[in-house]
A and B are shown apart, each in its own frame.
Chain A
C-alpha cells in the first residue's frame, strides 16, 4: 500500500476509533509490505528490511520527510552494490547478520521484526558501544581512528543518504547552489537549517 495514502486513511481512522498501538502496527505492516516493492541490487530481502528499519528509527518521518520517504534505503543498496568491492560487501553482510543475531539473542527476533520499544533498546545500546568517527581536515581523518561498528557506519550512511537526497538537499536544508558572494557573519535566523552544499 502507498504510505501516504495509508497515513491519510489511518488518520481518518485514528480520529474515529483506532487506538495508537494498532495504528502503529498497521503502519508497520504497511511499511514492510512497501519494502517488497523494490528489488534490491545487493541486499537480500532480510538485509534490506534491517537497513530500512534502522533508517526509520534514526530518521523517522516528522514534519519533515523521513529517511525512507527519500528512499535512503534504496540509495544505500545502490551504493553498496556499485561502489563496494567484494570484500567490503561481504563484510557488511556479516555485520548485518551479526547485528540481527544479537537482536535474536537479546530480544528473540531480527531487528526489523522487533517492536518499537525493543528496537529503541537495541539502538540505545549501540549508541553507547559503537565507535565514533574521529574528526577530519580536508577530506581525511586526523589522529587515530577507533574501529567504527556496523550501527554507527550505517547511521552515518543514512544521514548522508538523507541529506544528499534531492528533496532534503533542495527543500529541507538551505539550498543555494550559486551564493554569488560571501556573507561572513550572518544571523542564523536569516538562514534557518544548515546549508545543504
Chain B
C-alpha cells in the first residue's frame, strides 16, 4: 500500500476538510475523496498505517516484558483510561494520554479517547446493528428530547451501502426492532450458547438469542482477509478482518490521490465568515511545534468523536455565533447520552464437560430488545429498552480453588467450568442537563480550554438497569444455570463508550444544532456525523449508524456543492 501523503505544507486550500479519522471521519474521507474532492484529514495524533504500525499484533504474553502489565508511568499516563479495564501493554499506545489531555468530571464520567489515525476504530467492539423506527420515532412518541428529523427509510439505503463495503457478519432474524443487515455468514454459537439459546427461546416467547452481528469478515471481502480467530483485534489486525479506518476506509481514500492526512494537528476551531454566512476553514495547532496554522475548504466535516467535536464547535466563536458554532438553540453541549453498562447476570453451566472449542471468537451472543416493542411488551416502570450481549466459555479462576500442590497444578492445566453471562445495554434518555462545557481554568498541554463533563443516569435508566438484572437472573436460572449471580456495577456514563448527543440533529434551529443532513444550522457547509449528532441513544450500538449517516451526509454535501448551495 502506498504511503499516505502527509505533506500539507504546499497546499493550504482544499475542497474539503475532515476533522478526525475514526469510524465516521474515515468514511467521510473515503466518500469525499472518491467523489473527486481534494480532501485534507486533520488527525490529532500520529499516523497508524495498516499492518505497518501494529507493533504488538503478533506478540504472545511471554513476548512482552510484563506480559501485559503496565508500568507506573504508563498507569499515570492512562490514569483515567485504566478504569475501563481495557488498557494493557498490548494496546497502551492506542489510548490517549490522560495527562496531556485532561478533563474534569463534575460528576463521574469515563471519557475514552484514541488519539491516532483511525482513532477508536482500532479499539472498538465491532458490534454492528441497524437502528429501527422504534428508535427514530421514540422521542416523538414519548416526548423525551426532540424528534429525529429522519426515519428508517431515509437511512436504510445508506445502511446497505456501508454494510456492503465494510462487511458485516451475522444472522437474519426479521425483527422489526432490529432490522437485518446485508450479512456475510454468521459466526457460530458454541454448544453451551446453543443450549442456553434453546432454553431461553422456549421459556420466554418473544426473546431471541443470536450470535453478535459484527464488523468482522467471515470470508474474504474487498481484498481483505477473513477473521483468523486470534482475538487480538485491538492491537490492529494484520488481515484487515475487522472494520477500522486504517484497514477499510482510508486506504481507498488514499488510492484516489485526493487525500492528504496531516498528523499532530489539533483543531482549535472552525473559522466562520460572518459576511459569507458559512465556514471558510479550520484553525489548528501543530501538536509538535505549537505553530498555529489555518487551512481553507469549501466543506468541513467535524468527526473528532462526540465530545471533541462539540468542544471544537464550542471553541468556534464568531460575531454570528458567540456561544459556539451552530448554537442558536442553546443545545450545543447538552443532551449527552451513553448506554448503561455492566449490569446483568452470570452462572455456571453443567453437563458439557467433554466439550470445548477451538479459536478465540471476537464476538459473543446478542439478545435484541424485547421490552416496549409493542403494546403487549409495554412496561409501566420505564420507557425505551435494552439489549444484552454476553457469551459462554470455559473459565473459572484456579486461584479461588481451595487447594494447591501437584493435583491442583494438573487440574489447573485443564479447562475450567463452563460459564455464561449476559450484560445489558440500556437506552439513556436525552436530558438537557446532562452536558459538557468549556473549562478555561483547566488547560491542556497546548493551552487550550478543556471539557467539564456533567452527566448522570437518572430514574429511567435506573429502572431499566433494575429490569436488566431481574430479567438476566430469571433467564439464566430458568435456563438451568447454577450459582447464578446478578450484578450491577452502577457504572456512571462513559463506560459504555457509546457517548452520543451534544450537537443533536433536529428539524428546527431553535431546538437543534444540526439539520436532517447533519449540516450545522446557520453554517450549512459544516457537517457533524459522529456521535455528537445523535438525537436519541437507542439501546443498540451506534457505530453502524454513524457510518451510514456519514455516507449520506457526504453524498448530500457533494450534491449541494455542485448545485452551489453551499
Contact = CB atoms under 8 A, between A and B. Distances in A.
B2 interface: no
Interface in B156-192: 187-191
B489 A60 contact: no
Tell me the interface secondary structure of chain A in the complex: mixed
A137 interface: yes
Contact of B415 (A62, A163, A178, A188): A188
B355 A187 contact: yes
Given A137-B342, A186-B357, A169 B62 contact: yes
B66 A64 contact: no
Tell me the interface secondary structure of chain B in the complex: loop
Interface residues of B, number: 62
B72 to A, nearest CB: 5
A68 to B, nearest CB: 12
Interface in A146-197: 152, 155-156, 159-161, 163-166, 169-170, 172-173, 176-191, 193-195, 197
B405 A57 contact: yes
A21 interface: no
A133 B397 CA distance: 8
A164 B360 CA distance: 17
B334 to A, nearest CB: 30
Contact of A191 (B70, B358, B419): B358
A184 B188 contact: yes
A7 to B, nearest CB: 16
Contacts of B191: 184-185
Interface centre among B67, B190, B346, B416 (most CB of A within 10 A): B67
Contact of A143 (B354, B355, B485): B485
Given A83-B72, A143-B485, 14 more contacts: A57-B404, A59-B408, A62-B410, A64-B409, A127-B404, A137-B346, A139-B84, A178-B230, A179-B358, A185-B357, A186-B355, A195-B360, A195-B415, A197-B230
Given A128-B402, A137-B346, A179 B413 contact: no
A61 to B, nearest CB: 9
Contacts of B361: 182
Interface of A: 57-60, 62, 64, 66, 75, 78-79, 82-85, 120, 123, 127-128, 132-133, 135, 137-140, 142-143, 152, 155-156, 159-161, 163-166, 169-170, 172-173, 176-191, 193-195, 197
Interface of B: 58, 60-62, 65-72, 75, 84-86, 187-191, 194, 228-230, 342, 344, 346, 353-361, 394-395, 397-400, 402-406, 408-410, 412-416, 419, 421, 423, 485, 487, 489
B64 to A, nearest CB: 9
B404 A139 contact: no
A179 B360 contact: yes
A191 B413 CA distance: 12
A164 B59 CA distance: 12
Contacts of B415: 188, 191, 193-195
A159 B356 contact: no
